[in-house]
A and B are shown apart, each in its own frame.
Chain A
Amino acid sequence: MQRNRLDKGGRIDRSRPLNFQFNGRKLQGFAGDTLASALLANGISVVGRSFKLHRPRGIIGFGAEEPNAIMQIGKGDMTLPNLRATQVELYEGMIASSTKGWPSVNFDVSAINDVFSRVFSAGFYYKTFMRPKGLWHFYEKLIRRSAGFGKAPTAADPDSYEHRNAHCDVLVAGAGPAGLMAAMAAASSGARVVIADEQNELGGSLLCGDYQIDGKPANKWVEQTAAALGGMDNVTVLPRSTVFGYYDHNFLAVVERCTDHLSEAQRTGVRQRVWRVRAKEVVLAQGAFERPLVFCNNDRPGVMMASAVSAYLHRYAVSPGRRAVLFTNNDSAYQTAIDLARSGTTVVAIVDSRPHAAASELAASAGIPVLAGHVVVDVSGRRRVTGVRVGKWSGDTADTVDGTISIRCDLVAMSGGWSPAVHLHSHAGGRNEWNDELHCFVPGASTQANRSAGSGNGVWSLSGCLREGLAAGDEAASRCGLKPAGLDVPQAEDPVPMSIEPLWRVPAEKDPDRCSKQFIDFQNDTSVADVRLAVREGYRNVEHVKRYTALGFGTDQGKLGNINGMAVLAECLGKSIPEVGTTTFRPAYTPVTFGAIAGENVGDLFEPVRTTAIHEWHEAAGAPFEVVGQWHRPWYFPRDGEDLHAAVARECLATRNSLGIMDASTLGKIDVRGPDAVEFLERIYTHNIAKMKVGRCAYGVMLGEDGMLMDDGVMARLGEQHFYLTTTTGGAANVLSWLELWLQTEWPELDVYLTSLTDHFSTIAVVGPNSRHLLQKVGCNIDLKKESFPFMSVKDAELGGVPVQLFRVSFSGELAFEVNIDSNHALQMWEMLMYAGGEFDITPYGTETMHVLRAEKGFVIIGQDTDGSVTPQDAGMHWLLSKDKDFLGRRSLSRPDCVRDNRKQLVGLLSGDGKTVLPEGAQLVIDPNAEKPVPMCGHVSSSYFSACLGHPIALALLEGGRSKKGETLHAALVDGSTVEVQIVSAIFYDPKSERQNV
Chain B
Amino acid sequence: MKLGHINLRGDAADTAFVNGAASGLGQALPLDRNTISRSRHRIYWLGPNEWQVVTDLDNVAELVDKLRRALAGRHVSINDVSGGYTVFHLSGSDVPELLAKGCTLDLHPSVFQMGACAQSGLAKAIVLLGYIEETPVYEIIVRRSFSEYLLRWLRQN
Give A contacts to B, CB under 8 Å.
Answer: 162-167, 192, 276, 278, 600-601, 604-605, 607-613, 615, 631, 671, 673-675, 751, 753, 755-762, 821-826
Taking A605-B123, A611-B148 as contacts, is the C-beta distance between A163 and B101 under 8 angstroms? Answer: yes
Contact with A along B1-31 (1 / 0, CB 8 A): 0000001010000000000000000000000
- Give 4 nearest A-B pairs by CB, closest first: A823-B83, A760-B84, A753-B77, A759-B84
- Report the minimum CB–CB distance from B62 to chain A (whole Å): 15
Kindly report which residue of chain A lies nearest to residue B10, judged by CB atoms. A753
Tell me the bound Cα distance from A609 to B49 in angstroms: 31
Kindly report which residue of chain A lies nearest to residue B153, judged by CB atoms. A605
Q: Which of A165, A610, A751 contacts B149 (CB 8 A)?
A: A610
- Report the minimum CB–CB distance from B97 to chain A (whole Å): 8
Taking A163-B101, A757-B84, A760-B80 as contacts, is the C-beta distance between A751 and B108 under 8 angstroms? Answer: no
| Interchain CB contact under 8 A, B145 and A674 | no
Tell me the bound Cα distance from A819 to B104 in angstroms: 39
Kindly report which residue of chain B lies nearest to residue A671, judged by CB atoms. B79
Q: List, in ascending order, chain A residues with CB within 8 A of B100's CB.
A: 164-166
| Interchain CB contact under 8 A, B84 and A758 | yes
Tell me the bound Cα distance from A611 to B149 in angstroms: 9
B124 interface residue, CB < 8 Å from A? yes
Q: How large is the interface on B (under 10, 10 to 19, 20 to 34, 35 or more residues)?
A: 35 or more
Taking A673-B77, A753-B77 as contacts, is the C-beta distance between A611 and B145 under 8 angstroms? Answer: yes
| Interchain CB contact under 8 A, B76 and A757 | no
Q: List, in ascending order, chain B residues with CB within 8 A of A278's CB.
A: 104, 106
Q: List, in ascending order, chain A residues with CB within 8 A of B146's CB.
A: 608, 610
Taking A164-B101, A823-B83 as contacts, is the C-beta distance between A609 and B77 under 8 angstroms? Answer: no
Kindly report which residue of chain B lies nearest to residue A675, judged by CB atoms. B75
Q: Which of A601, A615, A675, A755 contacts B79 (CB 8 A)?
A: A755
Q: Which of B101, B103, B144, B149 contacts A759 (CB 8 A)?
A: B144
- Report the minimum CB–CB distance from A414 to chain B (whole Å): 46
| Interchain CB contact under 8 A, B82 and A822 | yes
| Interchain CB contact under 8 A, A755 and B9 | yes
| Interchain CB contact under 8 A, A612 and B145 | yes
B41 interface residue, CB < 8 Å from A? no
- Report the minimum CB–CB distance from A251 to chain B (whole Å): 10
Tell me the bound Cα distance from A824 to B84 in angstroms: 8
- Report the minimum CB–CB distance from B47 to chain A (whole Å): 11
Q: List, in ascending order, chain B residues with CB within 8 A of A756's CB.
A: 84
Taking A608-B146, A612-B145 as contacts, is the C-beta distance between A755 and B106 under 8 angstroms? Answer: no
| Interchain CB contact under 8 A, B77 and A674 | yes
Tell me the bound Cα distance from A353 to B37 in angstroms: 75
Kindly report which residue of chain A lies nearest to residue B152, judged by CB atoms. A604
Kindly report which residue of chain B lies nearest to residue A605, judged by CB atoms. B153
B81 interface residue, CB < 8 Å from A? yes
| Interchain CB contact under 8 A, B156 and A759 | no
| Interchain CB contact under 8 A, B108 and A192 | yes
Tell me the bound Cα distance from A824 to B156 in angstroms: 26
| Interchain CB contact under 8 A, A165 and B101 | yes
Known: A167-B108, A758-B84. 18 other contacts (CB 8 A): A164-B101, A192-B108, A276-B104, A601-B124, A605-B124, A605-B153, A610-B149, A611-B145, A615-B148, A675-B75, A751-B75, A755-B79, A760-B79, A760-B82, A761-B83, A762-B83, A821-B83, A824-B83
Give B contacts to A, CB under 8 Å.
Answer: 7, 9, 49, 57, 75-77, 79-85, 97, 100-106, 108, 111, 123-125, 143-146, 148-150, 152-153, 156-157
Interface SS, B side: mixed
| Interchain CB contact under 8 A, B124 and A760 | no
Interface SS, A side: mixed
- Report the minimum CB–CB distance from A628 to chain B (whole Å): 12
Kindly report which residue of chain B lies nearest to residue A762, judged by CB atoms. B83
Tell me the bound Cα distance from A163 to B80 in angstroms: 36
Taking A608-B146, A613-B83, A759-B143 as contacts, is the C-beta distance between A753 and B76 under 8 angstroms? Answer: yes
Q: Which of A600, A609, A759 contacts B83 (CB 8 A)?
A: A759
Q: List, in ascending order, chain B residues with CB within 8 A of A762's CB.
A: 83
Q: List, in ascending order, chain A residues with CB within 8 A of B124's CB.
A: 601, 605, 607-608
| Interchain CB contact under 8 A, B7 and A823 | no
CB<8 Å pairs between A and B, sample of 22: A163-B101, A164-B97, A164-B101, A165-B105, A167-B111, A608-B146, A608-B149, A610-B149, A612-B145, A673-B9, A675-B75, A753-B9, A757-B84, A758-B145, A759-B85, A760-B81, A760-B82, A760-B83, A822-B82, A823-B83, A823-B144, A824-B83
Tell me the bound Cα distance from A610 to B86 in angstroms: 13
- Report the minimum CB–CB distance from A193 to chain B (whole Å): 13
Tell me the bound Cα distance from A241 to B51 in angstroms: 42
- Report the minimum CB–CB distance from B151 to chain A (whole Å): 11
Tell me the bound Cα distance from A821 to B101 in angstroms: 35
Q: List, in ascending order, chain B residues with CB within 8 A of A821's CB.
A: 83
Q: List, in ascending order, chain A residues with CB within 8 A of B156's CB.
A: 600, 605
| Interchain CB contact under 8 A, A631 and B157 | no
Kindly report which residue of chain A lies nearest to residue B83, judged by CB atoms. A823
Tell me the bound Cα distance from A613 to B111 in angstroms: 36
Q: List, in ascending order, chain A residues with CB within 8 A of B97's CB.
A: 164
Tell me the bound Cα distance from A755 to B84 in angstroms: 12
| Interchain CB contact under 8 A, B145 and A759 | yes
- Report the minimum CB–CB distance from A53 to chain B (whole Å): 46
Considering residues A604, A631, A673, A760, which has the most beta carbons from chain B within 10 angstroms of its beta carbon?
A760
| Interchain CB contact under 8 A, B77 and A613 | no
| Interchain CB contact under 8 A, A600 and B106 | no
Q: List, in ascending order, chain A residues with CB within 8 A of B145's CB.
A: 610-612, 631, 758-759
Q: Which of B49, B83, B101 contacts A822 (CB 8 A)?
A: B83
Q: List, in ascending order, chain B residues with CB within 8 A of A674's CB.
A: 75, 77
Q: List, in ascending order, chain A residues with CB within 8 A of B152's CB.
A: 604-605
Considering residues A631, A759, A826, which has the most beta carbons from chain B within 10 angstroms of its beta carbon?
A759
Q: List, in ascending order, chain B residues with CB within 8 A of A758's CB.
A: 84, 143, 145
Kindly report which residue of chain A lies nearest to residue B124, judged by CB atoms. A608
Kindly report which residue of chain A lies nearest to residue B145, judged by CB atoms. A610
Q: List, in ascending order, chain B residues with CB within 8 A of A276's CB.
A: 104
- Report the minimum CB–CB distance from B61 to chain A (whole Å): 10
Tell me the bound Cα distance from A609 to B142 in angstroms: 13
Tell me the bound Cα distance from A604 to B106 in angstroms: 27
